[in-house]
């Protein structure tokens, strides 16, 4: 299964600017991307990075500087195209965000399995976003604005696609805000967690709720 991993090279992770300098955000975003790519490959997927600009990787990269929705729909047009005259239904295609630092091969394998059984299988993020999905319905396209999980459920219904929700804490945790770093330190198993520790971040439970501090 081909797995598209969107990745922004332009000022990545701007909402972490209160705790990370620009060059640190670049390094941390790259660590998360590498973790996601490794997890995808270990789960049997064939990762392809959909980047806003050239990026040096030992994986296939497609450069598309359009907004996320347009870039992903362009990829789906190519892989699922409703006008494709080849025999049989399209092969499932997955899209997994590059900031899912908690993703593991086991959680992605569960997503991929759901996507083989349903026309569209979505792993929602906290707050109603769409962190990862698998689609095989030729007419399914995305809209990442607002509560996109709800929108994608409606889009699937409108085109007659069987829809399945994949409930996963690991796939549901995208790293955007400083508070999200605690989840990486608690549950992370790869480069991103190591990067944070080496940068001096540690857990702090002195106020009751676990947060992070930087030494």
pLDDT in tens, 106-152: 999 999 999 999 999 999 999 999 999 999 999 999 999 889 999 99
Q: Would you call 40 exposed, middle or buried from its count of C-beta atoms within 10 A (0-12, 13-18, 19+)?
A: buried
How big, in percent rounded to 5, are the helix, strand and coil portions of the chain? 40, 20, 45
The pTM (predicted TM-score) of the whole model is 0.95
CA distance 19 to 91: 42
- Residues of the chain under the 70 pLDDT cut: 82-88
User: Is 1:93 a contact under the CB 8 Å cutoff?
Assistant: yes
**Tokens describing residue 86:** 């080849």
User: Is 5:48 a contact under the CB 8 Å cutoff?
Assistant: yes
> What pLDDT score was predicted for residue 109?
98
**Tokens describing residue 167:** 């409930």
Alpha-carbon torsion 198, 201, 205, 211, what sign?
negative
For the chain, the residue count is 215
> What pLDDT score was predicted for residue 83?
52
CB atoms within 10 A of CB 84: 14
For the chain, the domains span 2-176
User: Is 173:126 a contact under the CB 8 Å cutoff?
Assistant: yes
For the 2-176 domain, the top CATH level (class) is alpha beta
Q: Which residues of 87-96 are buried (b: 16+ CB within 10 A; e: fewer)?
A: eeebebbbbb
Alpha-carbon torsion 112, 38, 131, 9, what sign?
negative
CA distance 1 to 147: 27
């Amino acid at each position: 299964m081909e797995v598209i991993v969107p990745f922004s090279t332009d000022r990545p992770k701007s909402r972490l600017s209160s705790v990370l300098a620009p060059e640190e955000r670049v390094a941390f975003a790259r660590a998360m991307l590498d973790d996601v790519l490794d997890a995808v490959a270990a789960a049997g997927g064939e990762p392809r990075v959909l980047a806003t600009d050239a990026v040096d990787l030992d994986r296939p990269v497609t450069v598309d500087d359009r907004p996320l929705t347009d870039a992903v729909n362009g990829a789906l047009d190519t892989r699922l195209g409703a006008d494709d005259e080849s025999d049989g239904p399209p092969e499932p295609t997955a899209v997994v965000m590059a900031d899912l630092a908690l993703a593991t091969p086991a959680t992605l394998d569960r997503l991929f399995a759901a996507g083989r059984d349903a026309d569209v299988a979505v792993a929602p993020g906290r707050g109603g976003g769409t962190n990862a999905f698998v689609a095989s319905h030729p007419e399914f396209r995305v809209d990442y604005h607002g509560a996109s999980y709800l929108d994608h459920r409606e889009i699937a219904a409108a085109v007659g696609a069987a829809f399945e929700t994949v409930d996963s804490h690991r796939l549901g945790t995208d790293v955007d805000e400083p508070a999200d770093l605690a989840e990486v330190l608690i549950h992370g198993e790869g480069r991103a967690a190591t990067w944070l520790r080496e940068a001096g971040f540690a857990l702090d439970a002195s106020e009751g709720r676990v947060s992070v501090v930087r030494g």
